[in-house]
Amino acid sequence: MQISGAQMVIEAFIAEGVDTVFGYPGGAIMNVYDEIYKQDGFVHILNRHEQASVHAAEGYAKASGKVGVAMITSGPGFTNAVTGLADAYMDSVPLVVVSGQVPMSLIGTDGFQEIDAIGISRPCTKHNYLVTDAADLPRILKEAFYIARSGRPGPVHVDIPKDVTAQIAEFDYNVALELETYKPHTKGNPRQIKKAIEAIANAKRPLFYLGGGVINANAAEVVREFIHKTGIPTVETFMARGTLAHDDDLLVGMLGMHGSYAANMAMSETDLVIGLGARFDDRVTGKLSEFAKNADVIHVDIDPASISKLVNADYPIVGDVKNVVNDMLELVEKIDAENYESWRETIANFAELHPLTFHEDSERIKPQWVVKRVGELLGDSANISTDVGQHQMWAAQFYPFTRARQFISSGGLGTMGFGFPAAIGVKAAMPEKTSINFTGDGSILMNVQELMTAVEKKIPVINIILNNNFLGMVRQWQTLFYDKRHSETDLSVQPDFVKLAEAFGGRGYRVKTKEEFDAALKDAVEKNVVTFIEVIVERFENVMPMVPAGGSLFNMMLLEKKESK
């Protein structure tokens, strides 16, 4: 059928099964927004900032496993969205972001709200397009969704000049995909898989090392099965939290800079690392020359560029984690779980020597207690988003995750302001679950305008603000490594968060005791509206354990020995 470029965007979204689009209109994208007004195939959520639109699309994608979609205008609309693109690129989040552009005749003239969006987005997207002819739009949009979701997922940017959205052309979405230079390798090499299984069977101290790629590949269930059949202890990265349930006997804990003592020591003592969907990030490995230095490495990843990029893989396997682990399961009878009994006992001793804990305080609320308490009260019924900082690490350490896609956070880029809009996207994707955002008094102000989005669209995100009157994580580093010179991290001058929430039409609570917190959380869940729960917590609490930057995993700063809970 002959339709306009703007109509093609709408039809493509509907054909791809898109049910929610996040965005903010402007002049260059106005033709597409006019078609959004006329359609009823999907819901559009108007954010109050373009960065928030992309973060909300990320939250939607991370929670649902589907491609998130955002729409923005040219110039400052696009530059505002770049942080979201970079965040999605670092965390391998499948997005399609459509931006408006000035008309073709104005490109290169420094026209009003013109920016080289394609040049800017090239280093922080999996692929990008500048559409110069509406006849190309069906193919480009179909390719965009395919590229975003296939292989190693990532954001794809489609930039459309305003006159192209007005052009009339043939729309045929059944066009065949012919991407000669993009063919993700999804099946692992059978010989390499066989060698890997033999290496596991011969190992004395094997260790599963799970990364976010396990969740991206929807492989959590099959990975759990493989782990339980082999009886091999398992560590998770920050991005893999929830792959194993918190109470799984084979889960050692989170690995890395703020990982548990047992997890980091297990990695330091293992003789075989079984890396699944992990990229050996610096926050996980610490000092590379000391990382698992007595171990061989099996590395399974969909992205061949990730394998041996930082740590040499003795058994490299390029392929989709789910496919590779399914193939491994067929050979699992070669592995005897009894072989690893003494290894499991060794790790249990590590956990007993320095458990992941914190020191309670009878007078002041500890932030770790808040996270644990939410877990006790809500557990699996909640999805947990976070901003970036100390609260993020405490959430990863102490929340009792039970499933994949329950934990939504900014990993690679570490974007303050991510949590609230992401939690809006999470709620849009999974309305049956309570959407919690753990945030800090610094992070929450970076996208606080999304209170209006949540109020208008009746999206009941509960924001738990752990208020220590500091940029907490930076303050922690200044305390530990900069002789307590707290340069520009004191946030003692703050808004009234309760009145702020109420000014937008939400609800606000300020709590200073555990009893007040329980009452506020219960009321927030029952009232089912967007909420700020400001919790006044201990100012100088540190995230522990901690591996200093560039240090070895086995050389950790630990919680001082006191009476602990």
Each residue of 379-408: b (16+ CB within 10 Å) or e? eeebbbbbbbbbbbbbbbbbbbbeebbbbb
Q: To 5 degrees, how large is the angle CA 25–CA 423–CA 236?
A: 130
Q: Is 50 in a helix, a strand, or coil?
A: helix
For residue 15, count CB atoms less than 10 angstroms from its CB and return exposed for 0-12, middle for 13-18, buried for 19 or more.
middle
Number of H helices, E strands in the chain: 21, 20
In this structure, are 47 and 195 located in the same domain?
A: no
Same domain as 205, residue 302 = yes
Residues 125 and 164 in one domain: yes
3-state DSSP assignment of residue 527 = helix
pLDDT of residue 240: 98
- The catalytic site residues sit at 50, 112-113, 162, 473
In CATH, what number is assigned to the domain containing residue 9? 3.40.50.970
- Asked if the structure places residue 183 within a domain, the reply is no
Task: Report yes or no on 444 lying in a domain.
Answer: yes
The label of the residue with tokens 């606000």 reads 508
Pairing of strands 2-4, 168-170: antiparallel
Domain interval for residue 218: 190-353
Contact 424, 45 (CB under 8 A): yes
CA distance 21 to 520: 32
170, 199, 228: which is the final residue of a domain?
Answer: 170
Residue 548 lies in a domain: no
Regarding whether 413 and 326 lie in a shared domain, the answer is no
Per-residue pLDDT of the chain (565 residues; tens, 9 = 90+): 899 999 999 999 999 999 999 999 999 999 999 999 999 999 999 999 999 999 999 999 999 999 999 999 999 999 999 999 999 999 999 999 999 999 999 999 999 999 999 999 999 999 999 999 999 999 999 999 999 999 999 999 999 999 999 999 999 999 889 899 999 999 999 999 999 999 999 999 999 999 999 999 999 999 999 999 999 999 999 999 999 999 999 999 999 999 999 999 999 999 999 999 999 999 999 999 999 999 999 999 999 999 999 999 999 999 999 999 999 999 999 898 899 999 999 999 999 999 999 999 888 899 999 999 999 999 999 999 999 999 999 999 999 999 999 999 999 999 999 999 999 999 999 999 999 999 999 999 999 999 999 999 999 999 999 999 999 999 999 999 999 999 999 999 999 999 999 999 999 999 999 999 999 999 999 999 999 999 999 999 999 999 999 999 999 999 987 644 4
In the listed set 107, 137, 170, which residue is the last one of a domain according to the structure?
170
Residue 133 in domain: yes
pLDDT for the residue numbered 362: 80
The domain boundary, picked from 330, 353, 376, lies at 353
Q: Are residues 483 and 517 in the same domain?
A: yes
* Region of 382 on the Ramachandran plot (φ > 0 left; ψ -120 to 50 alpha; else beta): beta
**How many folded domains does the chain comprise?**
3
* pLDDT of 564: 43
Q: Are residues 329 and 423 in the same domain?
A: no
Residue bearing tokens 């080289």: 116
**Could you tell me if 440 and 376 lie in one domain?**
yes
Token representation of residue 230: 């082999």
Q: What DSSP character marks residue 104?
A: G
557 domain residue, yes or no = no
CATH classification at residue 308? 3.40.50.1220
Burial class (CB in 10 A: 0-12, 13-18, 19+), 432: exposed
- Identify the pLDDT of residue 565: 42
550 found inside a domain: no
Residue 209 sits in the same domain as residue 298: yes
**Whether residue 148 is found in the same domain as residue 9:** yes
226 is a domain residue: yes
CA distance 270 to 329: 22
Other CB atoms within a 10 A radius of the CB of residue 108 amount to 10
Q: Which residues of 40-62 are buried (b: 16+ CB within 10 A; e: fewer)?
A: eebebbebbbbbbbbbbbbbbbb
DSSP reduced 3-state for 127 = strand
Spatial separation of the C-alpha atoms in residues 360 and 563, rounded to whole Å: 8
Quick one: 283 and 209 in the same domain?
A: yes
Q: Do 297 and 232 sit in the same domain of this protein?
A: yes
What is the per-residue pLDDT for 477? Answer: 97
Beta carbons of 83 and 70 less than 8 angstroms apart? no
Q: How far apart are the C-alpha atoms of 401 and 542, rounded to whole Å?
A: 22
Residue 106 is assigned to a structural domain of this protein: yes
Residues 387 and 515 in one domain: yes
CB 411 within 8 A of CB 389: no
